[in-house]
Structure 1
Amino acid sequence: MAVELYGLDPDQFTAARNERAKEARAAGATGASTRIKTLRKPTLAAWLTNQLVRTDPEGVNDLTQLGDELRAAHLAADGARMRELTPRRHNLVQELVTTARGRAKDRGRPVSQSVADRLTETLDAALIDPGAALLVRSGQLTSALRHLGFGVVDETGEPAKFAPMKPKAVRRTPTKRPARQAAPPPPPPAVDRTLERRRTELRTRAEESESEYREAERAEAESLLDANQHQLADLTATIERLNEELEQARQQLRTAQRQTARLERSLDRATRTAAAAQRRRDANHERLANLDGLGG
């Protein structure tokens, strides 16, 4: 069930999860229904990682194998081997990020640079930490990962958990002798049984109504969260686009300023040349006038 849900697009996750939980509850599997409702919607970087596991399993397998080789070289203090593997590490991570961004764009979901950076951090964590590698290969990430030197954390800064919960130890209790059974109480009157059955029915209906109310509240909150996350992604993309346009405008401004400076220098030279030509013309006119005076 979780494998199927974490393979869906982010905007399909919440509705599909709630529907699966409702189906499980209708089938009487209340425990499974509760577990399904607790599944968290993946962030965009986590969704990209989960998609890589499904669409490029060989690339993810190469990544985890390279991580094993890097850790072995590190433990052996094999500097030559580390220098050999490090370029492969960077190239492989960038290839996977490029693949993930391209496939997301094909599905109408462009990926901003900040999300791509979190995907890069997740893949790097899988290279460094075997526990993070297990999480990545599960294809069920809910948050991007990041290695901080002392462990792996998710996007909120909380430690990422990989180890399954240990079962509680079951202690054997000493065997007791069966106590003497008392005489069974007399059966309750039919009216009491009817009232008790009615109370049970009303209590069940009240619990179902409370559960439905909580589920509706949760669905509404998740819908608002989804809308805010999409709005945040759109605003981030808009900011990046505006930053690119601003940088282009600055480059055009610098080009125009350089062109203006060249034109001003050309104008200054032309002005000086024209002034010198005018002085020569005036001098020639003066000499011509003097010659005309001598001839008269």
Structure 2
Amino acid sequence: MDVAAAALELYGLPPDEFTAARNQVAQQAKDAGDNGSSATLKALRKPTLAAWLANLLVRSDPDGIAELTDLGEQLRQAHVARDGRSLRELTLRRHGLVHKLVIAARTQARAQGHTVSPSTEQRLIETLDAAVIDPGAAQLLRTGQLTSALRHVGFGVVDETGDPAQLTPVKPRVVRSSPRKPPAKPPRKATTRRTAQSAPATAARSRRAELRTRAEQAEREYAAAETERAQAQAELDAHEHQLADLKATIDRLTEELEQARQLLRDASRRTRALQVELNRTTRNATIAQQRRDAGQQRLADLDR
């Protein structure tokens, strides 16, 4: 049995279908006499809802996930180059893309009958942010086989329990972009047009339309507020990067200043030592000159 292919398919299933499907595949492998594959499949962990949402995005929008992880590389390069303008622009793009992906995941989950709570949505945002910050987290996300949401905590990436993030115990396969097939349209059901409608039915439809309009307006207001928040977050991130750069520059200049002071102290000691040596050699030269002059005078006296 191709365990990697089976795992990839399993992690594309909703969490409430995962366990039964995993056990069935593991049993099939056992029935075929492949006990090793059966044990490996049986050990696969059920994904949390946030992890499933991330896996869902990898499958439904691989190009968006690729754009997100590529953006992380661009941000790292801009940070190394200390390019403040690029950092601000890329950070704004990052928040906009994360917001877009989260909305897409929430919409797809709702279509499959799953409600995404604010806490689950926050875990998904943290997962996407971790993939931007950490190349290892980006690789974990691209496999489409997360079992837990990810979070970057400064020294690495952890899962929802706070433990270091681990991939599934099978060799990961990266889900790549592929042409999308249009969804099959359900057969149109025959309807009978009613020539007259009751007043309660009309009122109910009017009420639903009103609620739908309110919901759409609320969604637009939320999107506008989130965009404004993302812009503020982008500005804050850019200034934090600038602050970190300035602190690093101060540390570097402080170290260079201390090194220069040490060189100055060493040079001063060497100068004093050379001055002492010069004084000694000058005295020796003076004494030697006096001896030479005295010898020449004695020779001159003998010649008279």
Coarse TM-score class (shorter-chain normalised): 0.5 to 0.7
Which secondary structure state, in structure 2, belongs to the residue aligned with residue 36 of structure 1? helix
Q: 2:97 aligns with which of 86, 92, 107?
A: 92
Shift of 1:122: 0.1
1:227-254 Cα distance to aligned partner (Å, 9 max, x none): xxxxxxxxxxxxxxxxxxxxxxxxxxxx
- The CA deviation at 1:27 is 0.5
The aligned amino acid for 1:56 is D
Q: Which residue of 2 aligns with 1:22?
A: 27
Q: Quick one: which amino acid aligns to residue 43 of structure 2? A: T
The 8 Å contact of residues 134 and 162 in structure 1, kept in 2 or not, is answered as: no
| Residue aligning to 1:125 | 130
Q: CA deviation at 1:91?
A: 0.5
TM-score computed with the length of structure 2 as normaliser: 0.53
Q: Is the 8 A contact 1:131 1:162 kept in 2?
A: no
Q: What pairs up with 1:214-233 in 2 under 5 angstroms?
A: none
Give the superposition deviation at 1:77. 1.9
Q: Which residue of 2 aligns with 1:34?
A: 39
| Aligned twin of 1:113 | 118
Which of residues 124, 137, 143 is equivalent to 1:138? 143
> Would you say the 8 A contact 1:43–1:143 is kept in 2?
yes
Q: Secondary structure at the match of 1:98?
A: helix
Match of residue 72 from structure 2:
67
1:125-274 matches, cutoff 5 A: 125-161=130-166
CA distance change for structure 1 residues 108 and 66 in 2, over 3 Å: closer, same or farther?
Answer: same
For structure 1, which runs of at least 5 residues remain unmatched after alignment? 166-296
**Equivalent position amino acid for 1:86 in 2:** T
Alignment pair present for 1:58 and 2:63: yes
Q: Cα 1:57–1:22, aligned 2, differ >3 Å: closer, same or farther?
A: same
Distance 1:21 1:101, change over 3 A: same
Relative to the length of structure 1, the TM-score reads 0.54
Partners of 2:38 and 2:15 in 1: how far apart?
A: 20
Greater RCO, CA 8 A, separation 6+: 2
Q: Distance in 2 between matches of 1:72 and 1:26?
A: 52
Q: Distance in 2 between matches of 1:105 and 1:29?
A: 38
2:55, 2:144 within 8 Å by CA — same for their partners in 1?
Answer: yes
Q: Is the 8 A contact 1:21 1:36 kept in 2?
A: yes
In the TM superposition, what is the alpha-carbon distance from 1:163 to its structure 2 partner? 11
CA-CA distance at 1:108 after TM superposition = 0.9
Is contact 2:152-2:158 (8 Å) kept? yes
Separation in structure 1 between the aligned mates of residue 141 and residue 164 of structure 2, nearest angstrom: 15
Greater shift in the superposed pair: 92-101 or 70-79: 70-79
Alignment coverage as a number of residue pairs: 165
Distance 2:168 2:106 in 1: 30
**Paired position in structure 2 for 1:47:** 52
Cα offsets for 1:190-242 (capped at 9, x unmatched): xxxxxxxxxxxxxxxxxxxxxxxxxxxxxxxxxxxxxxxxxxxxxxxxxxxxx
Q: Percent identity?
A: 63
2:136 is matched by which residue type in structure 1?
Answer: G
1:10 aligns with 2:15: yes
Q: Structure 1 residue runs of 4+, over 2 Å off?
A: 161-165
Deviation for aligned residue 1:78: 1.7
**Equivalent-residue separation in structure 2 for 1:116 and 1:134 (angstroms):** 21
Query: How far 1:129 moved relative to its partner?
Result: 0.3
Q: 2:167, 2:89 → 1: CA distance?
A: 30
In 1, Cα distance between the equivalents of 2:41 and 2:169? 17
Superposition deviation, residue 11 in structure 1: 0.8
Map Cα deviations across residues 67-121 of structure 1 (whole Å, 9 max, x no partner). 1101111122222211111110110001000000011001111111110000000
Equivalent-residue separation in structure 2 for 1:164 and 1:21 (angstroms):
14
Q: CA deviation at 1:156?
A: 0.3
Distance 1:162 1:7 in 2: 15
Cα offset for 1:161?
Answer: 3.3
